[in-house]
Structure 1
Amino acid sequence: MIQTVIFDMDGVIVDTEPVHHFAYQQHFKQLNIDVSPEMYASFTGNSTKNIYERLKGIYNLKEDIQTLVETKRNLFNDAFDQKEDLYLLDGVEDLIKELYQNGMQMVLASSSANVTIQRIFNRFNLDNYFTHKVSGEDFPKSKPHPAIFLKAAELAKTPVRNCIVIEDSTNGILAAKAAEIYCIGYDSVNSKLQDYAMADEVISHFNELTFNKIRNLKY
């Protein structure tokens, strides 16, 4: 029986991808580097730190990693605060509330920085529903490494066989599978160039999930 649902955030709870994309593109222009759409898509699910470690190696960037990360984060924060048309993804709030009302534990496991996670949670009043929030910035390796999901299960005090992960990215799905956790792939209209073949099941809308369906899933 499932006891804990582990949610990714970007692309699952809220579509911040356009804001991240805008911030990255602004920064790429400042750095005078050309990042292809295919390379950018491969970053999905990675922490900002790991993305800039890759870019620094590819483009021989002279700036240190921390400076690169902080510059992009500032660009994101400015864009986030100015973007009024930012909403929770269709159906996810109803699912979160249903799970909460039925006593299902929920944990967030996002590659975003802690400060970005809290910005989202403050804006949409989500703190009450989640027992823990885990950020990818606290781990040396990003998804598809399973560390973030293993930590989420550990904090939840739930065996991995009694957890599920909801993810929208190839890297996130691979991380869930590496952690041996049942994974629901969320293939939304916002998903781009992601592979859901490794997910245990795939949904395109959160109305496909209910508390009873989730509780009775078996790996």
Structure 2
Amino acid sequence: MEKLAVIFDMDGVIIDSEPIYRSWNKDVFKKLKIQVDEETQLSFVGGTAKRKWTILKDKFSLSPSVEELICLQNEIFSQKEWAFKSLLFPAVLPLLQELKEHSIPTALASSSNKKKISDVLDQCELRAYFDEVISGEDFERGKPDPDIFLHAAEKLEVPTSNCVVIEDSYNGLTAAKRAGMHCVGVRHKEIHMNLSQADRTVASLGEIHIEELKELSKR
């Protein structure tokens, strides 16, 4: 049997950052004088900033370019402070340790930019647990397109059919399925995302066990 590989999303899976993003987004939306409904907000969760602002520019006929809107977001977000270790989900480290003990290759494949990913890994002391770290910044097409996950499988040298992706968003799960991978959806206690594409849904990574991941990869 081909070896199993596990690919993790970051926001909403490794760290509980989505509610904070929502709060900060309100500041950006207020600056632009727009009110973004729940359905629209859910539509860009898990995707890149470029995809998000392409959606919002079109929906609200915003005059700045997508690049200018991203710059505005970065300017506002840069004034905020992250304490990533306080956002780390408790069950993350035990699962990563177990995967490492069993020599199961892992990748972090996040739509976030490289700096944020690096800060999360360093503050939470997780860098040693991932064989590959991949940012959506490096891809023209972000989730829900499968490119980032296909690249992760290639880097790990594991067939896509033997990869299990752990995601918390509709866009992330869509990308995983389009890549021909199996996936586990992580439910958030506050944000109700459509996880219907997941092969299995959990409320915490503590519910995920290696034997179950191996069974998923055989399907």
1:110–1:135 Cα contact (<8 Å) kept: yes
Greater Cα shift, 139-148 or 26-35: 139-148
> What residue in structure 1 maps to residue 194 of structure 2?
195
Shift in Å, 1:90: 2.9
Shift in Å, 1:24: 1.3
2: CA distance, partners of 1:168 / 1:202: 9
> What residue in structure 1 maps to residue 143 of structure 2?
143
Number of positions where the alignment pairs a residue of Structure 1 with one of Structure 2: 217
1:2–1:214 Cα contact (<8 Å) kept: no
1:149–1:176 Cα contact (<8 Å) kept: yes
> 2:86 aligns to what SS in structure 1?
coil
2: CA distance, partners of 1:75 / 1:119: 18
Shift in Å, 1:186: 1.0
> What residue in structure 1 maps to residue 33 of structure 2?
32
Query: Which sections of structure 1, spanning at least 5 residues, go unmatched?
Result: none
> What residue in structure 2 maps to residue 208 of structure 1?
207
1: CA distance, partners of 2:189 / 2:6: 22
2:84–2:120 Cα contact (<8 Å) kept: no
Query: Which sections of structure 2, spanning at least 5 residues, go unmatched?
Result: none
Shift in Å, 1:31: 1.0
2: CA distance, partners of 1:58 / 1:214: 39
2: CA distance, partners of 1:31 / 1:120: 29
1:49–1:137 Cα contact (<8 Å) kept: no
User: Scaled by the length of structure 2, what TM-score is found?
Assistant: 0.91
* 2:204 aligned partner, one-letter code: H
1: CA distance, partners of 2:87 / 2:52: 26
Note the 1:117-136 alignment, pairs <5 A: 117-136=117-136
CA-based RMSD of the aligned residues comes to 1.8
Shift in Å, 1:142: 2.3
Q: State the Cα deviation string for residues 148-200 of structure 1 (Å, max 9, x = none).
A: 1111111111111121100111111111111110111111314x231122111
Shift in Å, 1:85: 7.7
2:6–2:164 Cα contact (<8 Å) kept: yes
1:6–1:107 Cα contact (<8 Å) kept: yes
Greater Cα shift, 137-146 or 42-51: 137-146
* 2:211 aligned partner, one-letter code: N
> Measured at CA, do residues 178 and 15 of structure 1 come closer, stay the same or move farther in structure 2, by a change above 3 Å?
same
User: Scaled by the length of structure 1, what TM-score is found?
Assistant: 0.91
1:132–1:152 Cα contact (<8 Å) kept: yes
Note the 1:30-179 alignment, pairs <5 A: 30-81=31-82, 83=83, 86-179=86-179
Residue identity (%):
35
1: CA distance, partners of 2:183 / 2:103: 20
2: CA distance, partners of 1:21 / 1:74: 16
Shift in Å, 1:2: 4.4
